[in-house]
């Protein structure tokens, strides 16, 4: 689910903006008409958060808690500027580490 998209700076009326490619919206239609924010992390790095419009009010509280947790996790991960992308190689190494491991069904023990 981690795709990268090239963005470009563009003039929008009297302002400047960032243009996302149509492919982004085709693959992620939930972000159409969304709002968000941008946080500058360093002189050459920024992170963009796009928040899709909420559709279901029941999920809104759970979604808020997840967003708060993820915001915290991203902030902590970016503090030392050591965040690295999760690659196929990392995934393969993780799968090799747990290959053959069997888990007990803990729900049977809760009785």
pLDDT in tens, 22-81: 899 888 888 888 888 888 888 888 888 888 876 555 566 677 788 888 888 888 887 877
On whether both 59 and 47 belong to a single domain, the answer is no
Domain end, chosen from 53, 71, 87, is at 53
In a domain, 111, yes or no: no
Is the entire prediction scored with pTM above 0.75?
no
On whether both 66 and 91 belong to a single domain, the answer is yes
Residue 28 Cα distances to 14, 36, 64, angstroms:
28, 15, 20
Domain that holds residue 27: 1-53
């Amino acid at each position: 689910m981690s795709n990268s998209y090239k963005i470009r700076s563009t003039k929008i009326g009297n302002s400047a903006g960032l243009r996302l490619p149509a492919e982004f919206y085709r693959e992620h239609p939930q972000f159409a008409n969304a709002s968000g924010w941008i946080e500058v992390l360093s002189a050459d790095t920024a992170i963009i958060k796009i928040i899709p419009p909420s559709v279901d009010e029941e999920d809104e509280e759970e979604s808020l808690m997840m967003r708060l947790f993820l915001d915290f996790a991203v902030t902590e991960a970016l503090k030392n500027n050591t965040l690295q992308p999760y690659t196929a190689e990392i995934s393969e190494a993780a799968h090799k580490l747990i290959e053959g491991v069997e888990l007990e069904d803990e729900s049977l023990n809760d009785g």
